[in-house]
Structure 1
Amino acid sequence: MGKNRYVFWGLVITTLISALDANIMQTASPTIVKQLGGMELFAWIFVVYMLASTVTVPLYGKLSDMYGRKKLLMISVGLFTLGSILCGIANSMEMLIVFRGIQGLGAGGMVPLSMIIVGDLFTIEKRGKIQAVFSTIWAISSIVGPVLGSFFVEALTWRWIFFINIPIGIATVFCLIPYQEKAEFKKTHIDYKGFFLFGFSITLLLLSTNVSHGFWYILIGIIGMIAFLLVERKETEPFLPVSLFKNRGILMTNLFMLFYCLSFFGTSNFIPLFLQEGKDMSIYKSGLILLSIALGWLFGSTPAGGWIIRFGYKILFIIGSFITTISGVALYLFIQDISYIGLFLILTIQGVAFGLLFAVGTIASQEFAESHIKGMSTSLQIFLRNIGTSIGVTIMGLLINHAVNISIGMKNVFLYALCLSLITIVLSFLIPAKTDELRKSQS
């Protein structure tokens, strides 16, 4: 592995700070609001971060195809670290919200660029194992994050949830310095007009899920997206290359992952809440249930690269979507009376499907794409996953809030997810079995 070992650890640390930030903030935010005041602005601590980190994902992918992954990842980590320092010294909610936006601008590049570098450096077989490591980091962070958040708030001060990112960010940059990129990057015109229209429209559509009078945000967002599509048709170097959508493998894989994240992927956000309110379970025990998904994810994603070589993409997408739907039926039927162990087992099985499909989806987005748009293709899929999960979780939250009780609410959530999972089954049959490179290597 040589120098790649340092790069690999740099990517691991990048993933770690992204994952920890999301989970620590949930625990520490009530204390922050008490000290800074401005309870009416509470949601914006999360909203502005989510918007900045989601909208910039495709831009990072586009720029990485032009200037290289290393520079862009170092810039994104630098922005995230700068945002963390500023958040740590903020003395009002307004300042904290602005600085969280800067943090989000950096975070938008950290995960997708890490995935793109993995695609550049490692073989298909190794990529499944590496993604299993990244997924495990996210899963462990969901357990460790709240504990760390509580420790910083009680033993030190909430400001340390941001200051802890400083040494981690510096360590990441040092690990990336030895990385020598072999790919050639083609500098082209950047369609800033297209990016502005795209970013403006997506921001409004995402904001519609967090504000009152969301209808107008949706309407203007849709008009903006139509304007974006009309502008892109006339551009010689569009922000979203047309070749991405003419490529059947990329198109069907991205559609599949969008609907997959709209359906069952977001349900795990509400299971600890259901166990706490519906089953009177402790916060610790209800949070521990998410280890089941992490465990399953590990078994699903680790062998994914080898399975792609052996079976191709299509069969794995079909198997993964059927496992998700069948485990989803079990959750829908038995959620009200199921034991803790039973729920743990079903979620482990569903975790296997999550791990398999996320690993295969990422690899497919890279292998179906030509080398000069590989970064854009990978970041587009991550962007669509984020959009799908954000919208899906919002819809699920509405279903729970409007239900008579949490148990009925969870049944409604699983019914919604089941309906959409049927679409993913149909889409899985439309994904090509192999990329051209895979065909050549097996012929």
Structure 2
Amino acid sequence: MGKNKYVFWGLVITTLISALDANIMQTASPTIVKQLGGMELFAWIFVVYMLASTVTVPLYGKLSDMYGRKNLLMIAVGIFTLGSILCGMANSMVSLVIYRGIQGLGAGGMIPLSMIIVGDLFTIEKRGKIQAVFSSIWAISSIVGPVMGSFFVEALTWRWIFFINIPIGIATVLCLLPYKEQTEFKKTHIDYKGFFLFGASVSLLLLSTNVGNAIWYVIAGIIGMIIFILVERKEAHPFLPVSLFKNKGILMTNVFMLVYCLSFFGTSNYIPLFLQEGSHMSIYKSGLILLSIAVGWMFGSTPAGKWIIRFGYKRLFIIGSFITALSGLALFMFIKDLSYTNLFLILTVQGFSFGLLFAVGTIASQEFADSNIKGVSTSLQMFLRNIGTSIGVTVMGLIINHTANIVNGMQNVFLYALILSLVTVVLSFLIPAKTAELSEG
């Protein structure tokens, strides 16, 4: 690793602040609302952050192909840290919501740019291991985050959940400073018109998952997307390059990951709730079940790079989607009778397929792309994963809310996810095995 050691630690810290922020906020937000008032704005603390951090992902990817990854990542961390300072100083819910939006604008670049730098710096074999490190950080944060959130709220003040990001943000930038990029970056025209249309349409579609009268947001979002496509077809330098969609490897991998995230990936949001409501389990024990997915994830993503070289992309996508579908079938059929241990084991198997497919998907988005669009290709896939997960989680929530009890609701959720996972099995057969196949076919 040598000279890349500091960069690697910079990327690790970047992932850590993103992961901790997501998990600490869930614990601390009820206390914040009690102190600041404005309960009607409670959901917006999360919604505005999600919108800002999701919509900006492809823009960061595009800009990184033009101006380099390092400076852009330092800017993203800087915006996130500034947003954190402002959130810590907020004295009303309205100001907190606005400052969370600023935080989200920075967060939108932190994970995608970290992944793009990993793609620039490390070989395919090492990338699987590095992604395993990143995913284990998310796993640890899901357990440590709520504990830290409780500590800050009870021992200090909720404002420290934001101020803690200041030293971490500074440390990240210091780690990135020695990094010298080897890639040549080509400055091209940025289609801001396209980005605005794209961002507005996606925002409307995402808002439809969090508001009443959702149908009008969906209609407006779809109309916006149609206008975006029509305008982009005439644009000389479109916001999302046409070459992304003419490339079979990128197109099929992205479609696969979108549908995959619509299926089982969001079920983990509801499993702790199911255990609390259906089995009257403690919050701690029900949350601990998610460790199973994290453990499986590490075993799936660590060897992914080596397996790509040995077996090719297609075979791994097929195997991963089959494992997801079979473990999903077990969850659907036996969820009412599963013991905690058996549920833990099945989720570990499913976590293995998550880890494998997310690592292979990320590497595929980089290796199938030409070097001048590697950034936008990587960030586009991360963007589609976020969209898939957001919509999937919303649909699952609706399914549970329209069922008599949580146990039946969870079974219906698994049925919905199982049907979609069968679609991913079909899609996996359409992905090229190796990057070389693209030039031949």
Structure 1 residue 438: Cα displacement:
11
Counting aligned pairs with the same residue, the percent is 84
Q: Deviations over 1:387-437 (max 9, x none)?
A: 000000000011111111110010010000001011100100000000129
- Root-mean-square deviation over aligned CA pairs: 1.1
Q: Which amino acid aligns with 1:251?
A: L
Question: Which whole-Å CA distance do the structure 2 matches of 1:18 and 1:196 have between them?
Answer: 25
Gaps of 5+ in 1: none
Question: Which whole-Å CA distance do the structure 2 matches of 1:77 and 1:219 have between them?
Answer: 35
Pair 1:283-2:322 in alignment: no
Q: Secondary structure at the match of 1:267?
A: helix
CA contact (8 A) 1:13 1:168 kept: yes
CA contact (8 A) 2:432 2:438 kept: no
2:436 alignment counterpart: 436
2:356 alignment counterpart: 356
2:196 alignment counterpart: 196
Q: Which amino acid aligns with 2:210?
A: N
Question: Which whole-Å CA distance do the structure 1 matches of 2:3 and 2:16 have between them?
Answer: 20
Structure 1 residue 337: Cα displacement:
1.1
Gaps of 5+ in 2: none
1:127-206 paired onto structure 2 within 5 Å: 127-206=127-206
Q: Which amino acid aligns with 1:140?
A: I
The alignment of Structure 1 onto Structure 2 pairs a total of residues equal to: 440
Pair 1:377-2:377 in alignment: yes
Question: Which whole-Å CA distance do the structure 1 matches of 2:207 and 2:131 have between them?
Answer: 31
- Given the superposition, is the C-alpha separation of residues 438 and 155 from structure 1 closer, same or farther in structure 2, using an over 3 Å criterion? farther
Question: Which whole-Å CA distance do the structure 2 matches of 1:78 and 1:163 have between them?
Answer: 13
CA contact (8 A) 1:28 1:150 kept: yes
Q: Deviations over 1:341-390 (max 9, x none)?
A: 00000000000000000000000000000000000000000000000000
Structure 1 residue 140: Cα displacement:
1.0
Q: Which amino acid aligns with 2:379?
A: S
Q: Secondary structure at the match of 1:317?
A: helix
- Given the superposition, is the C-alpha separation of residues 276 and 347 from structure 1 closer, same or farther in structure 2, using an over 3 Å criterion? same
Q: Which amino acid aligns with 2:315?
A: I
Q: Deviations over 1:252-299 (max 9, x none)?
A: 000000000000000011000101110011111111100100100010
2:63 alignment counterpart: 63
Question: Which whole-Å CA distance do the structure 2 matches of 1:437 and 1:332 have between them?
Answer: 37
Q: Secondary structure at the match of 1:361?
A: helix
Question: Which whole-Å CA distance do the structure 1 matches of 2:274 and 2:164 have between them?
Answer: 32
Q: Deviations over 1:323-344 (max 9, x none)?
A: 0000000001111111000000
Question: Which whole-Å CA distance do the structure 1 matches of 2:83 and 2:205 have between them?
Answer: 25
1:42 alignment counterpart: 42
2:15 alignment counterpart: 15
Q: Secondary structure at the match of 1:190?
A: coil
TM-score by length of 1: 0.98
CA contact (8 A) 2:201 2:220 kept: yes
Question: Which whole-Å CA distance do the structure 1 matches of 2:377 and 2:59 have between them?
Answer: 11
2:326 alignment counterpart: 326
Q: Which amino acid aligns with 1:186?
A: K
Q: Which runs of 4+ in 1 moved over 2 A?
A: 436-440
Question: Which whole-Å CA distance do the structure 2 matches of 1:178 and 1:403 have between them?
Answer: 55
Question: Which whole-Å CA distance do the structure 2 matches of 1:426 and 1:334 have between them?
Answer: 25
Q: Deviations over 1:112-160 (max 9, x none)?
A: 0000000000000000000000000011111111111001000100000
CA contact (8 A) 1:185 1:372 kept: yes
1:242 alignment counterpart: 242
Q: Secondary structure at the match of 1:432?
A: coil
Pair 1:339-2:339 in alignment: yes
Question: Which whole-Å CA distance do the structure 1 matches of 2:25 and 2:244 have between them?
Answer: 36
Question: Which whole-Å CA distance do the structure 1 matches of 2:306 and 2:438 have between them?
Answer: 12
Question: Which whole-Å CA distance do the structure 1 matches of 2:143 and 2:338 have between them?
Answer: 23
TM-score by length of 2: 0.99
CA contact (8 A) 1:309 1:438 kept: no
1:83 alignment counterpart: 83
Q: Secondary structure at the match of 2:210?
A: coil
Pair 1:414-2:392 in alignment: no
Question: Which whole-Å CA distance do the structure 2 matches of 1:373 and 1:430 have between them?
Answer: 22
